[in-house]
């Protein structure tokens, strides 16, 4: 299950809407030994594409270093799908490199409906989890 505050979730959705029609991406950092997504870090999609995303490598280094300094980890890794359902694609699954992260997907295909779902992706296996807004 992913527990997330309304404010942080709204910020993620706003980021996805702002970057539409490109995919938006980012993380939500939280304390190392907790599972709390506290600090939203929207990131640049180096691909600037409606169908692909990649964290810009030098930004990723800076964000990862900052988390190290803060004793944080990427509790949530999120990105948006701009024309399809918020379900991990084959590419999402094959490239998922953090077995401890919650992979949050936002779909911006419908301007009037916010679709948000969350998953764990471990060793190529996807399991959906509840998103509890607290």
Partner 1 sequence: MAIEVRIPTILRDYTGGAKTVEADGATLSELVDHLESAHPGLKDRLVENGSLRRFVNVYLNDEDVRFLGGLGTELADGDSVTVLPAVAGG
- Provide the binding-site residues for partner 1, judged by CB under 8 A: 23, 25, 47, 51-55, 57-58, 60-61, 64, 77, 79, 88-92, 95-100
Q: Cβ of residue 2: shortest distance to partner 1, in angstroms?
A: 18
Q: Cβ of residue 54: shortest distance to partner 1, in angstroms?
A: 4
Pull the structure tokens for residue 85: 């359902």
Rounded CA-CA distance 110/85 in Å is 10
Residue 123 or 134: which CB sits closer to partner 1? 123
Q: Cβ of residue 78: shortest distance to partner 1, in angstroms?
A: 10
Residue 43: CB atoms within 10 A of its CB come to 21
Residue 21: CB atoms within 10 A of its CB come to 12
Residue 49 or 132: which CB sits closer to partner 1? 49
Residue 99 or 111: which CB sits closer to partner 1? 99
Rounded CA-CA distance 21/82 in Å is 6
Residue 2 or 76: which CB sits closer to partner 1? 76
Q: Cβ of residue 51: shortest distance to partner 1, in angstroms?
A: 6
Residues 122, 98 contacting (CB under 8 angstroms): no
How far, rounded to the nearest angstrom, does the alpha carbon of residue 7 sit from its chain's CA centroid?
15
Q: Which residue has 């938006």 as its token pair?
A: 24
């Amino acid at each position: 299950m992913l527990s997330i505050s309304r404010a942080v979730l709204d910020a993620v959705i706003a980021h996805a809407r702002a970057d539409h029609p490109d995919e938006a991406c980012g993380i939500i950092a939280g304390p190392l030994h907790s599972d709390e997504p506290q600090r939203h870090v929207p990131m640049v999609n180096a691909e600037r594409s409606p169908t692909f995303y990649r964290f810009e490598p030098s930004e990723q280094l800076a964000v990862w270093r900052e988390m190290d300094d803060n004793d944080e980890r990427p509790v949530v890794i999120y990105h948006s799908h701009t024309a399809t359902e918020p379900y991990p694609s084959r590419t999402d699954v094959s490239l998922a490199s953090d077995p401890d992260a919650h992979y949050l997907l936002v779909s911006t295909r419908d301007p009037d409906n916010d679709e948000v779902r969350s998953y764990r992706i471990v060793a190529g296996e996807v399991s959906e989890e509840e998103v509890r807004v607290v």
